[in-house]
A = this chain, B = another copy of it.
Amino acid sequence: MLIAIPLFDGMTTLDAVGPYEVLVRLPDTEVVFVGPEKRAYPQEFPGITLEATATLDEMTAPDIVVVPGGPPEAVGPAAQAGVLPAWLAKVHPQTTYTASVCTGSILLAAAGLIQGLDGTTHWAGKGILRQMGCNPIQQRVVDHGDSHRILMGAGISSGIDMALTLAARLKGDDIAQGIQLALEYDPQPPFDAGHPSKAPKAVYERVRVELKAVE
């Protein structure tokens, strides 16, 4: 099974690495980072790059695609009109699943794959997804596996939950549970502030401005 994770400049690292760390543990599976070019892609924040070892053109028939997201500028009009959505539109008809994490959903929408569907994305990007014809709902993982072979995760860290869901769909619950155990994914955040409905009001008001949220 061949899993492709497309890279692009300014993307959010954990959007890709969370699912990678889950999916690379699936039996008989290869995970490949792909990009418009074979090169290192600068990320949202300095200090780290991720490297594509194959081009989008070379990756003609992935079984699974997981599209990471990024801040507004990384998934804006230029990215939406770029080569990645065109590639997604081309490969999706043959995938078992085409998935997104965070605002990667915006690139699925740019590829025309999720119009008219319920979906999810980073809470700060829900308004953009709505403008593009997908209906954001309050759910961390949205699975259209049986109908549209589309799977979507909410913001950044949700990629781990999304990928465990995907692992279970592909290889069964016991394999997914084994990966969760191997990752010791027994989350115990020191605060319960991970969603606008839970964060202190003042924290939410500050962060929504920082993130230029469109809700």
Interface residues of A (CB under 8 A from B): 12-14, 17-18, 20-21, 24-25, 30-33, 40, 45-51, 53, 102, 122-123, 140-141, 154-158, 160-161, 164-165, 168, 173-174, 176-178, 180-196, 198-200, 202-204, 206-207, 210-211
**Chain B contacts for A180, CB-based, 8 A:** 189, 191, 193-194, 199
**B181 in contact with A203 (CB, 8 Å):** yes
Chain B residue nearest to A139 (CB atoms) is B188
Q: Given A14-B17, A20-B13, A47-B31, do A189 and B194 touch, yes or no (CB 8 Å)?
A: no
Q: Given A24-B45, A196-B181, do A160 and B186 touch, yes or no (CB 8 Å)?
A: no
**A186 in contact with B181 (CB, 8 Å):** no
> How many protomers of this protein does the assembly include?
2
A207–B164 Cα distance when bound, in Å, is 16
Q: Which of A21, A178, A183, A184 has the largest number of chain B CB atoms within 10 A?
A: A184
Partner of A157, one of B183, B196, B199: B183
**Chain B contacts for A177, CB-based, 8 A:** 191, 193, 199-200, 203
Chain B residue nearest to A202 (CB atoms) is B174
13 extra interface residue pairs, beta carbon distance < 8 Å, beyond A158-B184, A178-B203, A182-B207: A14-B21, A123-B184, A141-B190, A157-B184, A157-B185, A160-B187, A165-B190, A177-B199, A177-B200, A180-B199, A181-B195, A184-B194, A186-B198
Chain B residue nearest to A155 (CB atoms) is B184
**B21 in contact with A47 (CB, 8 Å):** no
User: Which 10 pairs show the lowest CB-CB distances between chains A and B?
Assistant: A155-B184, A186-B194, A177-B193, A187-B187, A14-B21, A185-B194, A186-B195, A24-B45, A157-B185, A17-B17
**A189 in contact with B206 (CB, 8 Å):** no
Partner of A156, one of B48, B102, B164, B185: B185
**A191 in contact with B211 (CB, 8 Å):** no
**A33 in contact with B47 (CB, 8 Å):** yes
Chain B residue nearest to A24 (CB atoms) is B45
